[in-house]
Chain A
């Protein structure tokens, strides 16, 4: 039902998430933001079971901010991803596991851009491109074909648009709009919502 996608370039990460908040068959909100800002250069995209997403993502968010307050410097994306994975894994075999699928995207001064794929069983993988949801079945092969490690920003956005076109064409559910954000050395940038809504 929900869809997340991330594409890593040589010096940026492009991420997008759909904007639908649904409750059984009703779209209760069509401008819902599924991205959580962990720090100036790290975004956490979170989908899954209704309450678990916000609870877990906000917990991670506050803890990352606490780390910065305590130690004076921010967690790197790799450290944040592993911290998230550890928490998810700890809760996995408790009585209250969190059923969430995550993408963590960030830019590190030394290591450069990073995209981390994490699923509800707390499997963590650093990947050049990744997607979550039923839409992933339709779009991963497009990413396979057209992804190159040296994509420019415009090419990455075009690749994203190709994926969303495929979703509109073949996915049974209507996902009318997507929030798109780009992370690079200057921080997190909001980009135009896709598909472009005609006024």
Chain B
């Protein structure tokens, strides 16, 4: 897809004003390079229904799509639980792994968090096919941007780009709700130092492996693609990680959002909603997850606390929501890139929790008996004293 764009393939194919997305007979979306059309009020394409091709009736496409559109059983859709939040040490992205289709679990081990590049992952919910397609389109666009402008697009920029690309399809059955979680980096002026710094990056990245495994792609990606950025980010990171004095979450968050680098979380929906925030959760299990996240989130959390919070939130959501479940995936994104935690089966977590509860009840019982015993003893001592 990227090569096709660079070569300008299909650019001369249509004879009317250039469109960003054109469907061909098989329904695939081919893309022509963006061209600003001064006549159209919006510089992006009109929805596929308006596109006229010589060898196809314009209505055929829309009618085919509408006959294939899935019938939603109820309004609150997106059968999943995904969440993302920022804190002082980066971004946590977590999701369950159940892909459902009405009452059937189509896939209990699907992957809902996809890395876009070394410092950006996207949590997707909505219809699976749409999500896979739009992830690839977004990855392509981000890569093209990076090649053209020699710097990475920020998370907010990527969200804006995705929102603009999805806008023409508003009103059709495209259903994508993506949460972009990533770390914005800054460009550095000193490019000559990058050779020396590459080794530093590798060491820093290796040192960072606590319990989680660093995926090879991430390490290599950080080194190869963005070695120049890494160097600036690490120097900024060491400054940023000095604990800020103020305890108020808002101050810290605001100061991070004001700086040009830092953790970011951004929500993009196919109906056009685009939100930046600190905590975003999407899906049918999101209310349950929000309840846990709102209770436990603090800006100054440690990595372990944040991971535990995310796990707990997904676990509670999978317990109550029928359309979420199976395993939990967890990604942690810092200035060095993303790291992935091993996938964890929540069924065992449920039984472990029941065991913990049983133990707690026993302990409370013992304590209560002990307390009653003490009171009895005191009571006797009192009565002896008085009598």
Chain A residues with CB under 8 Å of chain B are: 21, 23-26, 28-29, 32, 49-55, 59, 87, 90-91, 95-96
Contact = CB atoms under 8 A, between A and B. Distances in A.
A53 B46 CA distance: 17
B280 A52 contact: no
A187 B46 CA distance: 37
Nearest to A59: B42
A55 B171 CA distance: 14
A64 to B, nearest CB: 14
A106 to B, nearest CB: 22
- The 6 tightest CB contacts between A and B, nearest first, are A51-B272, A50-B273, A50-B272, A50-B271, A29-B275, A29-B277
B53 interface: no
Given A95-B47, A95-B50, A96-B46, A51 B277 contact: no
Contacts of A21: 273, 275
Interface in B249-297: 267, 269, 271-275, 277, 280, 286-287, 290
14 contacts: A21-B273, A24-B75, A50-B271, A51-B166, A51-B269, A51-B273, A54-B274, A55-B42, A59-B42, A87-B41, A90-B41, A95-B46, A95-B47, A96-B170
A23 B272 contact: no
Contacts, number: 56
Contacts of B47: 95-96
A118 B262 CA distance: 39
B139 interface: no
B171 A23 contact: no
B277 A28 contact: yes
A96 B190 CA distance: 48
A92 B46 CA distance: 15
A50 B269 contact: yes
Contacts of B269: 23, 50-51
Nearest to B41: A87
Between B49, B50, B273, the greatest number of chain A beta carbons within 10 A of the residue's beta carbon is seen for B273
B126 to A, nearest CB: 13
A95 B59 CA distance: 13
Nearest to B171: A96
How many B residues are at the interface, by size bracket? 20 to 34
Contacts of B275: 21, 28-29, 32
A77 to B, nearest CB: 21
Given A23-B273, A51-B163, A95-B50, 18 more contacts: A21-B273, A21-B275, A25-B287, A28-B267, A28-B277, A28-B280, A50-B271, A51-B167, A51-B272, A51-B273, A52-B272, A55-B42, A55-B272, A59-B42, A87-B41, A90-B41, A96-B47, A96-B170
Contacts of B170: 51-52, 96
Interface string B25-54: 000000000000000011000110110000
B241 interface: no
Contacts of A32: 275
Contacts of A95: 46-47, 49-50
A3 B382 CA distance: 67
Nearest to B282: A23
A59 B41 contact: yes
Contacts of B163: 51, 54
B368 to A, nearest CB: 39
Nearest to B77: A24
Contacts of B41: 59, 87, 90-91
Contacts of B211: none
A52 B286 CA distance: 24
Nearest to B164: A55
A7 B83 CA distance: 40
Contacts of A59: 41-42
Contacts of B46: 95-96
B68 interface: no
Interface in B47-84: 47, 49-50, 75-76
A31 to B, nearest CB: 9
Contacts of A87: 41
A53 B167 CA distance: 12
A50 B272 CA distance: 6
A49 B272 contact: yes
A25 B287 CA distance: 9
A24 B42 contact: no
A1 B5 CA distance: 43
Nearest to A62: B43
B271 A51 contact: yes
Nearest to A95: B50
A24 B273 CA distance: 12
Name which of A23, A53, A95 has the most chain B CB atoms within 10 A of its CB: A23
A26 B286 contact: yes
A54 B76 CA distance: 23
A136 B327 CA distance: 47
A57 B46 CA distance: 18
